[in-house]
């Protein structure tokens, strides 16, 4: 996985996790993923990106991600959306705000139907 892919992965998780306020389970998940991928620098970058302005973090991340992910193959876009959905399920629930954010990204990336299919499984 390239440094850019690590940034995308961790920013996506971080911005969705921060949508309602990062809790301990989510913080541990981010740290575990960073350790697994040897991506401590990319995690620090993602957390700094979000902290620059929490209120606009999602919209800024959406713009950033859309510029990069538009070139990804469809299966990789689906995998990214599925990853963040599964990560949210680790805590046992997905908030309405998180689900809405993921749907917006899925729509941007032309994988909305695939996300809905994954959720219904």
- Give the global pTM: 0.88
Contact 102, 85 (CB under 8 A): yes
Residues 85 and 52: their CA atoms lie apart, in Å, by: 24
DSSP string for 67-118: HHHTTS-HHHHHHHHHHHHHHHHTTT---HHHHHHHHHHHHHTT-HHHHHHH
- pLDDT tens digits for range 5-50: 899 999 999 998 887 778 888 899 999 999 999 999 999 999 999 9
Residues 16 and 58: their CA atoms lie apart, in Å, by: 8
Q: Give pLDDT, residue 109.
A: 94
């Amino acid at each position: 996985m390239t440094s850019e892919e690590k940034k995308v992965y961790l920013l996506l998780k971080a911005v969705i996790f921060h949508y309602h306020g990062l809790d301990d389970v989510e913080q541990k998940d981010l740290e575990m993923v960073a350790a697994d991928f040897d991506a401590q620098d990319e995690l620090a970058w993602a957390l700094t990106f979000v902290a620059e302005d929490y209120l606009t973090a999602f919209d800024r991340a959406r713009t950033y991600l859309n510029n990069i992910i538009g070139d990804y193959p469809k299966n990789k876009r689906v995998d990214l959306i599925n990853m963040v959905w599964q990560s949210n399920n680790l805590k046992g629930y997905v908030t309405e705000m998180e689900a809405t954010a993921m749907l917006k990204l899925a729509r941007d990336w032309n994988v909305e139907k695939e996300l809905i299919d994954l959720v219904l499984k």
